[in-house]
C-alpha cells in the first residue's frame, strides 16, 4: 500500500507542477502582454525578462511542490492512523 501512496504522491506532484507552470505562463502573458520568455530562439527576449520569469516560475513551482508533498504526506499519515497501521 505504501508503494501506491508514493506513486500517487509523485503523480500529484508532477500534475501540480504542470498546472503551476501553465498558471505562471497565463499570469505572465496577462501582466506583460507578451508570451513567456521560453522560446528556442531567445534573441527576442531580454535577459532581464528571462531572469524575472525564471525566478517567479521557480518560486511558484517550488512552493506548489512543497505544498503538494506536505498534503500527500498528511493524507498518508491520516489514512495509516484510520487503518491502525502506525
Q: Is the predicted pLDDT of residue 30 greater than 90, yes or no?
A: yes
Q: What is the grid cell recorded at 72? A: 500527500
Helix intervals (H) in 1-86: 2-32, 47-83
pLDDT digits over 37-85, tens only? Answer: 876 666 667 888 889 999 998 898 889 888 888 888 888 888 888 877 5
Predicted TM-score (pTM) above 0.85: no
pLDDT (0 to 100) of residue 9: 78
Contact criterion met (CB below 8 Å) for 48 and 23: no
Amino acid at each position: 500500500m505504501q508503494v501506491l501512496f508514493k506513486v500517487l504522491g509523485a503523480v500529484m506532484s508532477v500534475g501540480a507542477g504542470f498546472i503551476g507552470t501553465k498558471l505562471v505562463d497565463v499570469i505572465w502573458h496577462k501582466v506583460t502582454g507578451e508570451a513567456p520568455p521560453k522560446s528556442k530562439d531567445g534573441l527576442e527576449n531580454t535577459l532581464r525578462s528571462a531572469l524575472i520569469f525564471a525566478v517567479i516560475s521557480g518560486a511558484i513551482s517550488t512552493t506548489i511542490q512543497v505544498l503538494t508533498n506536505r498534503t500527500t504526506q498528511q493524507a498518508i499519515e491520516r489514512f495509516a492512523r484510520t487503518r491502525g497501521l502506525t
